[in-house]
Amino acid sequence: MDEQLYKSRRTTYLARMKKRSIALFFSAPLKTRSNDTEYPYRQDSDFYYLTGFKEDNSVLLLIKEKNSTQEILFVQKKDPTLELWTGKRLGEKEAKKRFLVDKVYTTEELHVRVNNSLLGKKKFYLDLVCEEKNLLHVRKLIKKRVKKSLYKKSTLHVRDISQKMRAIKTSHEIELIKKALMITKDAHHKVMAMPKIGRFEYELQAEFEYEFKKNGAYSDAYTTIIAGGDNGNTLHYINNSQKLIDTELILIDAGCEYEMYASDITRTIPVNGKFSEAQKEVYELVLATEMKVIETIQEGVLRSDLQLMARELLCEGMVALGILEGDVAELIKEEKDRKYFPHGIGHWMGLDVHDPCPYKDKKGREIPLADGMVMTIEPGLYLPLDDANLPEKYRGIAVRIEDNILVTKEGYENLSFGIAKTVEEIEALYSRT
Ligand code: GLY
Ligand code: MN
Ligand code: MN
């Protein structure tokens, strides 16, 4: 456990806080699945980023005075009866030994301690979105101390600083993403190779979940998408309930989470192992687009440049295939291409699959790519079965190809390099069964 790492993140966070302020981070709440059973617990990403602690009912309080700082962690009280049911808790004493914070208290003391810390403070970094019970109470405490007219100005969103910090990944974070991707790669390759005709989408989902867990991943980083044929035209199809049909494609968007870090990989493969001519035409267009966009990645490039490039390449290709008609520039200006490529070229990835790091700075200017950022590149073409405007042979085809890219000083590193994606590689893997 590298406590120094989390300590240094808190130090950076504190350095960016205004003087005479406090910041409060809450652990994720438990989420009810039904009646008295809960979903498996997953820690809040910002809380984890600053503490490395995975228990619920915990709070981090950072205090910045004029010339000093204090870090306080609140943890669940030891409770042998409850621990019998839900597992061991670290408790106050062990937490004090482990975490490099100034003080540890039980969460029962939160309100009193926070109230004491408010004295003389002018700024309050809180989660301005969350409605957690404890947080509502803290807001009340602050409202008692701050003039009503100043309340809005005094409260700042606590995640703004941490999510900005999270944009640049350390080598340790990149190693965890790479580990997640190794597991994800093996799972994709296993599913590419297995016989699939007549199997159900959920059977493939089960293979992914099995491979993820078996190899030490906590879970999937998002619900696996196994979309046979026209189902791929529903962007976030997660029903995974249909039978796979011999001549169709399967769009598979699946990535595991390893030690809290995501991977996010899409591959589109033929059910029977061989692309038809029409499928290949669409596939090669998306693949060429993906590879060309990746090749342009380097520091200083804007995500909107990548988006426009993908749109132009896909649009040109769609005109060549007879999917769209007209002048490419005109079609893009009129957003006609968006009908078949309706989503973004990619997103930040890290502790969250869609890492909530900012895309724009305070002035609304786009943040250029920089060394240490990790993003997905995921162009796609979605050609619905019921779209009578499409050439018949393309109806019901959906293709997305997605890789995870690290921006480096030299340009980029494709962290998911080696996951089969050319037609030849995919067909060869299937024929090995
Ligand atoms: N897996 C969700 C996405 O690609 O954004
Ligand atoms: Mn994805
Ligand atoms: Mn993605």
285, two tokens: 């267009």
pLDDT-based confidence at 151, cuts 50/70/90?
A: confident
Assess whether pLDDT exceeds 90 at residue 135.
no
Q: pTM for the whole thing?
A: 0.96
The answer to whether 25 touches 38, Cβ cutoff 8 Å, is: no
Predicted local distance difference test score (pLDDT) of residue 129: 87
- Please give the distance, rounded to the nearest whole angstrom, from the Cα atom of residue 405 to the centre of ligand 1: 14
Bigger pLDDT: 136 vs 382:
382
Q: Where in the chain is the domain with CATH 3.90.230.10?
A: 171-431
Among the listed residues 147, 143, 364, 381, the one whose alpha carbon sits nearest the alpha carbon of residue 282 = 381
Q: Which atom of ligand 1 is nearest to the CA of 354?
A: 5
Say how far apart CA 6 and CA 103 lie, in whole Å. Answer: 15
Q: Give the chain's mean pLDDT.
A: 96
DSSP letter at 336 equals: G
Assess whether pLDDT exceeds 90 at residue 231.
yes
- Please give the distance, rounded to the nearest whole angstrom, from the Cα atom of residue 264 to the centre of ligand 3: 5
359, two tokens: 């895309």
Assess whether pLDDT exceeds 80 at residue 432.
no
- Please give the distance, rounded to the nearest whole angstrom, from the Cα atom of residue 348 to the centre of ligand 3: 8
**Mutation pick for ligand 1 pocket among 264, 268, 343 (CB with most ligand atoms within 8 Å):** 264
Pocket of ligand 1 (CB under 6 A): 222, 253, 264, 353, 378, 402
Q: Where in the chain is the domain with CATH 3.40.350.10?
A: 3-165
Q: Which atom of ligand 1 is nearest to the CA of 253?
A: 1
Q: What are phi and psi of 13, to 5 degrees?
A: -60, -50
Residues 6+ positions from 68 with CB-CB distance below 8 Å: none
Residues 6+ positions from 175 with CB-CB distance below 8 Å: none
- Please give the distance, rounded to the nearest whole angstrom, from the Cα atom of residue 227 to the centre of ligand 1: 13
293, two tokens: 């966009």
Say how far apart CA 104 and CA 261 lie, in whole Å. Answer: 27
Say how far apart CA 158 and CA 155 lie, in whole Å. Answer: 9
- Please give the distance, rounded to the nearest whole angstrom, from the Cα atom of residue 421 to the centre of ligand 1: 17
pLDDT, one tens digit per residue, over 262-299 is 999 999 999 999 999 999 999 999 999 999 999 999 99
Say how far apart CA 328 and CA 312 lie, in whole Å. Answer: 7
Predicted local distance difference test score (pLDDT) of residue 1: 59
Assess whether pLDDT exceeds 90 at residue 152.
no
Predicted local distance difference test score (pLDDT) of residue 130: 84
Our measurement of the distance from residue 240's CA atom to the centroid of its chain's CA atoms, rounded to an integer in Å, reads 21
**Mutation pick for ligand 1 pocket among 181, 225, 253, 403 (CB with most ligand atoms within 8 Å):** 253
- Please give the distance, rounded to the nearest whole angstrom, from the Cα atom of residue 188 to the centre of ligand 2: 13
Q: Which atom of ligand 1 is nearest to the CA of 376?
A: 4
Hey, what amino acid is at 215? N
Ligand located closest to 221 CA: 1
Q: Ligand 1, atom 3: nearest CA belongs to which residue?
A: 264
Assess whether pLDDT exceeds 70 at residue 203.
yes
DSSP letter at 348 equals: B
DSSP letter at 337 equals: G
Q: Parallel, antiparallel, or unpaired for β 59-64 and 21-26?
A: antiparallel
Report helix, strand or coil for 77: coil
**Mutation pick for ligand 1 pocket among 345, 376, 400, 404 (CB with most ligand atoms within 8 Å):** 376
Predicted local distance difference test score (pLDDT) of residue 431: 72
The answer to whether 10 touches 24, Cβ cutoff 8 Å, is: no
Q: Which atom of ligand 1 is nearest to the CA of 225?
A: 1
| pLDDT mean over 61-85 | 97
pLDDT-based confidence at 109, cuts 50/70/90?
A: very high
Residue 60 to residues 23, 34, 49, 101, 110, Cα–Cα distance (Å) = 8, 29, 11, 10, 10
Say how far apart CA 40 and CA 201 lie, in whole Å. Answer: 24
Assess whether pLDDT exceeds 80 at residue 433.
no
CATH superfamily of this structure's domain 3-165: Creatinase/prolidase N-terminal domain (3.40.350.10)
Say how far apart CA 106 and CA 73 lie, in whole Å. Answer: 8
pLDDT, one tens digit per residue, over 326-373 is 999 999 999 999 999 999 999 999 999 999 999 999 999 999 999 999
pLDDT-based confidence at 133, cuts 50/70/90?
A: confident
How many residues comprise the chain? 433
Which of 48-52, 97-101, 128-132, 154-158 shows the lowest per-residue confidence on average (mean pLDDT)?
Answer: 128-132
Predicted local distance difference test score (pLDDT) of residue 26: 96
Assess whether pLDDT exceeds 60 at residue 309.
yes
CATH class, domain 171-431, is: alpha beta
Q: What are phi and psi of 39, to 5 degrees?
A: -70, 155
Say how far apart CA 300 and CA 26 lie, in whole Å. Answer: 35
Our measurement of the distance from residue 152's CA atom to the centroid of its chain's CA atoms, rounded to an integer in Å, reads 30
Q: Ligand 1, atom 4: nearest CA belongs to which residue?
A: 264
Catalytic residue list: 36, 236, 253, 264, 343, 347, 354, 378, 382, 400, 402
| pLDDT mean over 21-43 | 96
Q: Which atom of ligand 1 is nearest to the CA of 255?
A: 1
Q: Which long-range contacts link 298-302 to residues 24+ away (Cβ below 8 Å)?
A: 298/369, 298/407, 298/411, 298/412, 299/368, 299/369, 299/370, 299/371, 299/407, 299/409, 300/368, 300/369, 300/370, 301/368, 301/369, 302/366, 302/368, 302/369
